[in-house]
Copies of this chain bind each other. A is one copy, B any other.
């Protein structure tokens, strides 16, 4: 075989990059054409996260492919994308299903989040500029949503809050891992009874943590966050224990 594979040619054509052009680099993401598989994955992710596709539901390749107007092969690529995010589980020869987090998953989710987010908060003094401000923005978003009684919006803002906390670590990999954990957590919320009462109380807590961050009292912020996790996890575990879960899942056949 080709052991010694060809490396991409170095020293490519070096275009005259005036510094002004650098400003455009931000647009790159927008211009970047995405593959159909990715767009399909985006669409499905949305449906899963907002609950249109319930946990445990099976996603038929043929039916979905026809509905979305893509081929089975492309759809499979999208499935794999979401499988990696743990939103779908792929069972060999059996198909893909929307993931059904169980109690053990909830506990595990919080274990990893605790490690990563606490570490991020503790090193917030070395965070890039604007990172703490973004935490504040998420707090305000949550307060606004709570003000107009939009509890789903509160949940979304809450996610953004924690994503912003993770971003304090200034680490792309931390960002990615936490994003995945939070998406999974959304799935957990669908399995519990009263998401309204779950999200809302944390608005005030978020505000407190942000204030501590702004004042540079990182250790206190970390402790506050740790308590936060304790409470939230316990609440989720309770909700999961009493909940008989998955009642009346009609299998469409």
Please report A residues at the B interface, Cβ cutoff 8 Å: 1-12, 32-35, 52-54, 56-59, 63, 67, 73, 76-77, 80-81, 84, 91-92, 97-98, 100, 102-103, 108-109, 111-112, 114-116, 119-120, 169, 171-174, 177, 181, 245-246, 248-251
Distance in Å: Cβ of A67 to nearest Cβ of chain B: 6
Which residues of chain B are near A98, meaning CB under 8 Å?
A: 5
Q: How far is the CA of A97 from the CA of B100 in the complex (A)?
A: 34
Q: Which of B73, B108, B173 contacts A171 (CB 8 A)?
A: B108
Can you list 20 pairs linking A and B with CB atoms under 8 Å apart?
A: A3-B245, A4-B54, A5-B53, A5-B57, A6-B57, A8-B97, A8-B246, A8-B250, A9-B251, A10-B250, A35-B92, A84-B84, A108-B173, A109-B173, A111-B171, A111-B174, A112-B116, A112-B174, A115-B174, A116-B116
- Give 9 nearest A-B pairs by CB, closest first: A5-B57, A115-B119, A10-B248, A7-B56, A84-B84, A8-B56, A111-B171, A12-B250, A112-B173
Sample of 9 further A-B pairs with CB below 8 A, known A4-B54, A77-B80: A5-B58, A7-B58, A8-B58, A8-B250, A11-B248, A77-B77, A108-B174, A112-B173, A112-B174
Task: Check if A5 sits within 8 Å of B54, measured CB to CB.
Answer: yes
Q: How far is the CA of A243 from the CA of B172 in the complex (A)?
A: 24
Which residues of chain B are near A73, meaning CB under 8 Å?
A: 73
Task: Check if A172 sits within 8 Å of B97, measured CB to CB.
Answer: no
Q: How far is the CA of A1 from the CA of B171 in the complex (A)?
A: 37
Can you name the residue of chain B whose Cβ is closest to the Cβ of A181? B173
Which residues of chain B are near A97, meaning CB under 8 Å?
A: 8
